[in-house]
Structure 1
Amino acid sequence: MSLEPKKQPVIVRKVIRKSAHHGGAWKIAYADFATAMMAFFLLLWILNATDDKQRAAIAGYFQEPALFEAGSPVLTVPTGEGSGNAPSTIDFEGGFAPSPEGLSPSQLAALAQRLDSARLESLRLSLQAALDDSAALAPYKEQLLIDVVPEGLRIQIIDREHRPMFDLGSARLLPHAAAILEEIGTMIETVPNPTAISGHTDAHPYTNPDYTNWELSTDRANAARRALIAGGMAEEQVGRIVGLGSSAPADLEDPGAPINRRISIVVMRLETAEAVFEHDSATLELPGD
């Protein structure tokens, strides 16, 4: 009989250390921080460059821009800033001088543009962070295109092969597309900028001559509007609904490509929106008037 002790089996345990995953939430915080810092430094600049009367005028300008006449040395301030019930005025004695003692109309406009750009950049970063971090949006990341265009911040939701946004030939949103639009609507609601929504189709013609790609693209843009509002975007933020049919394809070489079927949402710059809507609401002069 052997008296040798039994050898115990050697157990090797392999420990795999997983590094922590950092989502895109930091991008939202960074966007808010960048916007706050820009606003803070602009505020310091204004406080240093103006006196009390001019600061009151600047505050009135941002509250009621229509009361300020470009190039005028006089700014009307709403009731409550002056005495009595009538609006008061602030005379800048010949206009704003482009010196440390005052702000010219062009400087005021530049200030408003910078704040507007900061808002849109913050929104872009927030949308990008949601794409990186949202479980609901992650599967559709390739169908969302976000870029900056002269009119503002553009968000496009495009069709992919075997992953459309709508039922075939219909304006009924599929559940995943509705979820994407509602998520976007929640974010657009955080800015005051109006939106322009356009629908696009591919070039495949309809057999029904009474309902063409023009009607379909318009109905789809309207369906997108309803989903954005359901997500939280204010109805008053809708500035324009357009159906472009197949007239502006994303893929010029293949008019029937799925990418041509898309919804485009432009969060408009305030300056652009003002110019567009002013043009649209211009008085119509009929012959003989």
Structure 2
Amino acid sequence: MRGSRGKEHTTIIKRSSRKSHDAFHGGAWKVAFADFTLAMMALFMVLWIMGSVSEEERKEIVSQLNGESIFEGQSLSPITQPNGVGGKIAATEKRDRGDDKTKTPEEKRVASMKGESLDDVNKRSQQEIEDLARVIMKITSAYDAQSNLKMEIVPQGLRILVTDDQKREMFQRSSAILTPFFTRLLTEFAPALNKIDNKIVITGHTDATRFRDQDLYNNWNLSGERAMQARRVLTKAGLDPTKILQVSGMADQMLIDPANPLSSSNRRIEIMVLTHSASESLYQFFGQHGEKVIKPIIDRLSQKK
């Protein structure tokens, strides 16, 4: 008995641990399902929004998403001839303003405030801009400064370019100190600009001459300070400060004479008298007193409910 027990074999069963199917894959299928659900919800929202908004609102949304600029893709039609002599005022683009659905919120607001039809407001605004151009040209002729002034009526309003020439420098070289002649000229412009009910943008431009120490001082600093100096002269001469919507410097990024980057014509101050639509476009970027002109789409949909 003992011998037979000693010869007995003991069978040992070893069970290998198997990783569960869930442990191997983790929660990947759940993540994939959640992504699919989110995509379907997003598709549903897009379809719902497209069916809930008007064609005009869709265009506004696309415009915002594309980041369209009010100064891109527009041709310019000069008021002055190449030799600086005043010419016929011409607009390069006319908008159909007969349909109220095409009006911007600013145009509708201006019309409602003055009790006028939109057509009357638009015609009056266009006429005021053309009248302003004639007044500016008359002042320029009185100062014999036709070679220092160019004007263009563009879809965004009236563009006034005050430039250097070989006879007169607007600013002392490499500084933002305005010379007496151009101080008097801008002072004469102020009352005329104050009479029109439009916002104004002032921009400084330089030629391509570079400072030695670009970190210490460069054309961005110079163009910005020159624009600010022009603003100070205009407001001191009586221009309502609230009419000025923006003051900026563009250094040598927008040369009028790119073939001659050091040309005096590149050193200039630009005064842009904006149409109501153009100023409204700027509000779309920055908001008006914290409230954007184009309301968020969810707000619009909630209002319709």
Task: Please give the range of the TM-score, normalised by the shorter of the 2 chains.
Answer: 0.5 to 0.7
Structure number with greater Rg is 2
Post-superposition, which runs of at least 4 consecutive aligned residues in structure 1 deviate over 6 A? Answer: 57-60
- Partner Cα separation in structure 1 for residue 230 and residue 122 of structure 2: 28
The one-character-per-residue Cα deviations of 1:5-43 (angstroms, maximum 9, x if unpaired) are xxxxxxxxxxxxxxxxxxxxxxxxxxxxxxxxxxxxxxx
Q: Which moved more, 1:159-168 or 1:191-200?
A: 159-168
User: Is the contact between residue 200 and residue 244 of structure 1 (CA under 8 Å) also seen in structure 2?
Assistant: yes
Residue 157 of structure 1: which of 142, 153, 162 is its match? 162
SS state of the match for residue 155, structure 1?
A: strand
Alignment RMSD: 2.4
Q: Does 1:125 align with 2:134?
A: yes
The runs of 5 or more residues in structure 1 that have no matched partner are: 1-56, 65-106, 285-289
The runs of 5 or more residues in structure 2 that have no matched partner are: 1-107, 293-305
Indicate the residue corresponding to 1:100 in structure 2: none
Query: Which structure is higher in helix share?
Result: 2
The one-character-per-residue Cα deviations of 1:135-165 (angstroms, maximum 9, x if unpaired) are xx22x22101122122111111101124210
> Relative to 1, partners in 2 of residues 1:248 and 1:62: Cα closer, same or farther, differing over 3 Å?
same
The one-character-per-residue Cα deviations of 1:77-132 (angstroms, maximum 9, x if unpaired) are xxxxxxxxxxxxxxxxxxxxxxxxxxxxxx94333221211111111111222233
- Partner Cα separation in structure 2 for residue 184 and residue 58 of structure 1: 28
Q: Does 1:276 align with 2:290?
A: no
- Partner Cα separation in structure 2 for residue 170 and residue 276 of structure 1: 30
- Partner Cα separation in structure 1 for residue 195 and residue 291 of structure 2: 33
SS state of the match for residue 176, structure 1?
A: helix
> Relative to 1, partners in 2 of residues 1:211 and 1:117: Cα closer, same or farther, differing over 3 Å?
same
- Partner Cα separation in structure 2 for residue 59 and residue 169 of structure 1: 42
- Partner Cα separation in structure 2 for residue 109 and residue 61 of structure 1: 9
Q: Does 1:219 align with 2:270?
A: no
**1:1-289 aligned within 5 A:** 61-63=112-114, 108-132=117-141, 134=142, 137-138=143-144, 140-209=145-214, 210-281=216-287
User: Is the contact between residue 220 and residue 249 of structure 2 (CA under 8 Å) also seen in structure 1?
Assistant: yes
TM-score (norm 2): 0.56
Structure 1 position 227, deviation (Å): 0.9
User: Is the contact between residue 113 and residue 271 of structure 1 (CA under 8 Å) also seen in structure 2?
Assistant: no
Indicate the residue corresponding to 1:23 in structure 2: none
The number of equivalent residue pairs is 182
SS state of the match for residue 228, structure 2?
A: helix
User: Is the contact between residue 182 and residue 228 of structure 1 (CA under 8 Å) also seen in structure 2?
Assistant: yes
Indicate the residue corresponding to 2:31 in structure 1: none
- AA in 2 matched with 1:62: M
